[in-house]
Amino acid sequence: MNKIKCIVVDDEPVAIRILEKHLSIFSEIEIIATFNLATDALNYMRENHVDLLFLDIKMPRMTGIEFLKSCKVQPAVILTTAYRNYAVEAYDLDVIDYLVKPISLERIGRAISRYHERHTSHKQDENHTSADQFIHIKSNKETVRLKVSTIQYIESMADYIIIYHDGGKIISRNRISQMEEELNKNLIRIHRRYLVPPSRIESITGNMIKINSKQLPIGRTYRHEVNKLLHLK
């Protein structure tokens, strides 16, 4: 069994030692690094793969919440904190669990179980065909489950994206680069503002792509890659 590569970020050394002691009970967990500052953990994650992150919220320089909002590629996260009042904001960031200190071994066990449940669910999604794949999109205060095959195209609007799909549209605070990374097997980038599924392209005329009667531009820097992916000269 592959180990779950885990890091712990907390400005209190005692809190790190307690987590290390608890996590040593779980044979599938491997703590590969610990940090007292979120900024150090962020630099580490840019160069190293991490499956699971135990993250304190109130830390100097950068809080745990600020850390999560700055992560481009985010591992599974379990928050550890002495404060209960961050729970709503934390769950809006799609964390696995929210542990209030002092943290018991039993509570750690439940959090690890939640990680396994979500990991298994994601694996099942990966084994489906593209037509059966779903993504979860945060829109306002709810999370929407959207079938990938219903996406017509995605448009970027500064710090937001608009996902046009067969049932309407979803507006989400997200960056198009994150959607491109998540859906790179299903959608292609044709412009700095647009992602499209190749199967939805009705026609290409000059530098314009037609999808569902909507004309979308092909950006000059993306033209070569679009031609290659669509087997055009």
pLDDT, tens digit, 9 for 90 and up, residues 71-118? 766 789 999 988 877 666 666 677 888 899 999 999 999 999 989 988
CA angle 93, 51, 186 (to 5 degrees): 70
pLDDT in the model for residue 2: 81
Task: Give tens-digit pLDDT for 43-62.
Answer: 999 889 999 999 999 999 89
Domain boundaries 131-229, corresponding CATH code: 2.40.50.1020
**Is the domain covering 4-127 a CATH 3.40.50.2300 domain?**
yes
The domain ranges of the chain are 4-127, 131-229
Determine the average pLDDT of the residues in 188-196: 94
Residues paired with 167 in a beta bridge: none
pTM of the model: 0.54
The average pLDDT across 15-29 equals 95
- Which tens digit of pLDDT belongs to each residue from 198-225? 888 888 888 999 998 899 999 999 888 8
For residues 63 and 60, what is the distance between their CA atoms, to the nearest angstrom?
7
